[in-house]
Amino acid sequence: MAKHNTEHEMSFLEHLEELRWHILRALGGTFVIAVILLFSKKFVFDTLIFGPANKDFITYKLLCKIKICLSPPTPHIYQRLMGEEFVTHLKVSFLLGLIVAFPYVFWEIWQFIKPGLYPKEQKAARGIVAICSMLFLLGVFFGYFIIAPFAITFLLNYSISNLVAGTDVTLGSWINYMVMFTLPTGLVFELPIIMYFLSKAGLVYPDSLRKFRKHAVVAILIVAAIVTPPDVMTQILISIPLYALYEVSIIISARVDKNRKKEELEAEAESAVSK
């Protein structure tokens, strides 16, 4: 983007050209990792994708030690269409490549945005690539190791009638659910960063976040009830990190608001002195 305090202002086409190269490099990094994962089929599918279907999955073992023993039935996963396994292999390799390459992809995006910011704004956003990457990956891990096991156990055990056949699951359905359990959670964990920028823009204030705290708690409990079996312990286990993110967002918004008021007072003082 155009740099402040520079002699040369980039044209619109130059911006597009620079953006194109950032996108190409981000896609290139994702492609390299996707190719590596493409040749790691056994690890990707047997260990990662179908891991929560295995009774020896680490989450089930750890939960059982604290007397929360989940018992998911072993599903029979089948392909519905010819070639579905091949297409799924490509799709999963790309999605996992995108997740693994997220820090680099975000870094490329930031390198495009950063020059357009003032020095004070750049300083305020220092470390944003590392923080965003950490939050996203934490969200993905939370979705994979916590939400997925509870949700899979609940969905595979749920029954509306004895006439309905047991645990046959299509390959596409399994993959879609695993994506739903992980990627959106990674994005939800970016809530503190989103609130930071909304607060900087003056669109969100800490008082409003505190005012709607009760509504947020209800929404979080509803989400937890949907993705977990119907017992209080597991719902609390899911709800605590989500509520913690909301509280962190309030703290961040309050700090931004405090700094804004401080800057306004300093500006008023400077204005009064100059008069």
Place of tokens 């999963």: 92
pLDDT score of 2: 44
- Specify the amino acid at residue 210: R
Query: Measured between alpha carbons, how far is residue 73 from residues 49, 76, 80, 196, 269 in Å?
Result: 16, 9, 21, 43, 69
pTM of the model: 0.81
Query: Measured between alpha carbons, how far is residue 85 from residues 76, 98, 127, 171 in Å?
Result: 15, 20, 40, 8
pLDDT score of 6: 43
pLDDT score of 89: 96
pLDDT score of 117: 73
Q: Residue ranges of the chain with pLDDT lower than 70?
A: 1-10, 124, 165, 227-234, 274-275
Model pLDDT for residues 34-60, shown as the tens digit of each residue: 999 999 999 999 999 999 988 889 999
Pairing of strands 76-78, 168-170: parallel
In 3D, which of 243, 237, 265 has the Cα closest to residue 59? 237
Q: Sketch the domain layout of the chain as residue ranges.
A: 1-189, 196-275
- Supply 203's token pair: 């669109």
Distance, CA of 94 to CA of 38 (rounded, Å): 8
pLDDT score of 124: 67
- Supply 166's token pair: 């047991």
pLDDT score of 101: 94
- Supply 240's token pair: 């605590």
In sequence order, the 6+-apart residues with CB closer than 8 A to the CB of 46 are none
Query: Measured between alpha carbons, how far is residue 272 from residues 200, 258, 265, 266, 269 in Å?
Result: 25, 21, 10, 10, 5
Q: What count of Cα atoms within 13 Å lies in the side-chain half-sphere of residue 248? A: 14
Q: Can you give the length of the chain in residues?
A: 275
Query: Measured between alpha carbons, how far is residue 11 from residues 17, 19, 48, 113, 174 in Å?
Result: 10, 12, 46, 15, 47
Distance, CA of 92 to CA of 42 (rounded, Å): 13
Model pLDDT for residues 178-207, shown as the tens digit of each residue: 998 888 888 889 989 988 888 887 888 899
Q: Reduce the DSSP state of residue 217 to 3 states and report it.
A: helix
For the chain, the distance separating the N- and C-terminal CA atoms, rounded to the nearest angstrom, is 37
Q: Are 177 and 139 in contact (CB under 8 A)?
A: no
